[in-house]
Amino acid sequence: MTEPVHVIGGGLAGSEAAWQIAEAGVPVVLHEMRPHRTTPAHQTEGLAELVCSNSFRSDDFEHNAVGLLHAEMRRCGSLIMAAADESQVPAGGALAVDREGFSARVTARLEAHPRVAIRREEITGLPPQDWDNVVIATGPLTSPALSEAILARTGEGALAFFDAIAPIVHADSIDFDLAWRQSRYDKEGPGGDAAAYVNCPLDQAQYETFVQALLDGPKAEFKDWETDTPYFDGCLPIEVMAERGRETLRYGPMKPVGLTNPHRPGEKPYAVVQLRQDNALGTLFNMVGFQTKLKHGAQTEIFRTIPGLQNAQFARLGGLHRNTFLNSPRLLDRQLRLKAEPRLRFAGQITGVEGYVESAAVGLLAGRFAAAERLGAPIEAPPEVTALGALIAHVTGGHLDGGKGSFQPMNVNYGLLPPLSAEGPKRGEDGRRLTPTERGRAKKRLMSLRALEALGGWLADRRAAA
Ligand SMILES: Cc1cc2nc3c(=O)[nH]c(=O)nc-3n(C[C@H](O)[C@H](O)[C@H](O)COP(=O)(O)OP(=O)(O)OC[C@H]3O[C@@H](n4cnc5c(N)ncnc54)[C@H](O)[C@@H]3O)c2cc1C
């Protein structure tokens, strides 16, 4: 008799993990606390309940990274994608679902699976020692008793209860005719780099217009149950700083000191926005200290008024939410196991990904890793050129840890994938010169095709080994 793998949490990630384990031929016990205990956001007792929007976002696998992730997951036999496809409702190029039908399908398929046992119970502490292979997928609203046990096991600063997300920009969309690279006072970082930051200069008029736009811009509200979670230490939203005084930002994240603009060396900038490299690939930069609750449309509009960011493409926009997530780059190995206690594997939003699809994707991989380990034939993650591989590489190591608490949740995006080895096409099939937008789309398409080919190879290797 093969001992079961235990999966804690029957949300997007846990349901997918349980399915992958069972389909690999390994018994699985899925522990879900609802309906006995619920979270502030869940309303039903169904597995894989969608707590807010009913959209899985774009289904365009050629030009959108989440569409690519859909395609990869379908090829891996994903339960979440199968149930989503069967529950689809009209939504243009997006994949949106009938939320009740979707959750009912996931629940029914798992209940009917001969190797899946579902236990409706809360796990209130670290699992008993005789559970030697566990996937913890309890999500952004992990119950307090389990969160406290994880916190005690991982240590202070390793588990966050709020995210404070600053926007992230694709490096190749920054205009270096206006911006420049330099660290404050040319100070060398640990890697010996004295030009680690990207700087965007504002004159007085631009700064004042910018501050006014922050004050006037529409903000997202906190939910009732979010207001009692403290977040104000060290991560004030920029609009709250702006409310405290017109000059506050100039003495905070936008201070212009220790920097010389090589494009105008004789002129001192009135304020400077700094961006710091966010991933090891060097394709993404985050706006330092720019966590915000401005609505997404307003963020794009206001941040593009910053000189050097006028054409910025955002890999992620800012936000602040109640969330439970690990400092995964420090704590987890490439198999998503807690380095300090490898019998415990994590999956879903708690690993620091963001979104229904990304959470399910990490569940899919955790399930496959756990099953392979139980069968005595551990597997590697998919190659980094795939969306699945890029996501897990980012969570478990690709993110540059620029300081305590700098790891923040992330949606999948092309900036996580290694760039193409050659420059993307400059002309279309008809010989016409492509516009910058068309070139961007052509590049994404090539990255998607590269990803699907690499995933095909990885899946073929798995089949050959089985
Ligand atoms: C309010 C809110 C709105 C969101 N809106 C969106 C959105 O619109 N679109 C989007 O893409 N993403 C959204 N997200 C982000 C995220 O993608 C979802 O939260 C997603 O459901 C995460 O998947 P998961 O499997 O990690 O966690 P969940 O889907 O939350 O699943 C975790 C499961 O674990 C159970 N559980 C928790 N603790 C225990 C325990 N101790 N024992 C047993 N079971 C336990 C919970 O009941 C739950 O069923 C939202 C998040 C929140 C909090």
List, for residues 354-409, the tens digit of each pLDDT value. 999 999 999 999 999 999 999 999 999 999 999 999 999 999 986 665 444 578 88
- Distance between CA atoms of residues 267 and 264, nearest Å: 6
Choosing from 54, 328, 359 the residue with most ligand 1 atoms within 8 A of its CB, the one to mutate for a pocket test is: 359
Cβ neighbours of residue 370 under 8 Å, at least 6 residues apart? 5, 17, 21, 26, 133, 135, 345
Question: What would the pLDDT profile of 292-330 be if each residue is shown by its tens digit?
Answer: 999 999 999 999 999 999 999 999 999 888 899 999 999
Q: Is 325 in the pocket of ligand 1 (CB under 6 A)?
A: no
Beta strands across the sheet bearing 88-89: 55-58, 94-97, 88-89
- Which comes out higher in pLDDT, residue 400 or 197? 197
Angle between helices 12-23 and 79-86 (to 10 degrees): 110
CA nearest to 220, candidates 288, 139, 322 = 322
DSSP state of 335: T
Q: Is 319 in the pocket of ligand 1 (CB under 6 A)?
A: no
Cβ neighbours of residue 339 under 8 Å, at least 6 residues apart? 331, 332, 333
Report the mean per-residue pLDDT for the chain: 92
Query: Which tokens go with 440?
Result: 């961007």
CA nearest to 136, candidates 113, 156, 159 = 159
Residue reference for tokens 């090891």:
280
Query: Per-residue pLDDT averaged across 244-250, rounded?
Result: 94
Q: Whose CA is nearest to atom 24 of ligand 1?
A: 139
Q: Is 6 in the pocket of ligand 1 (CB under 6 A)?
A: no
Q: Is 213 in the pocket of ligand 1 (CB under 6 A)?
A: no
Residue reference for tokens 């926009």:
317
Using DSSP's 3-state secondary structure scheme, residue 354 falls into coil
The C-alpha angle 330, 359, 128, rounded to 5 degrees, equals: 65
Q: Does position 63 have pLDDT exceeding 90, yes or no?
A: yes
- For residue 140, report the distance from its CA to the centre of ligand 1, in Å: 5
- Which comes out higher in pLDDT, residue 199 or 1? 199
Query: Per-residue pLDDT averaged across 207-212, rounded?
Result: 98
Residue reference for tokens 């629940």:
107
- Distance between CA atoms of residues 417 and 382, nearest Å: 12
Q: Is 359 in the pocket of ligand 1 (CB under 6 A)?
A: yes
Q: Whose CA is nearest to atom 3 of ligand 1?
A: 52
Query: Which tokens go with 296?
Result: 């997404």
Q: Does position 161 have pLDDT exceeding 90, yes or no?
A: no
Using DSSP's 3-state secondary structure scheme, residue 392 falls into helix
Contact 354, 409 (CB under 8 A): yes
Q: Whose CA is nearest to atom 53 of ligand 1?
A: 140
Q: Is 105 in the pocket of ligand 1 (CB under 6 A)?
A: no
Q: Is 227 in the pocket of ligand 1 (CB under 6 A)?
A: no
The pLDDT value given to residue 106: 98
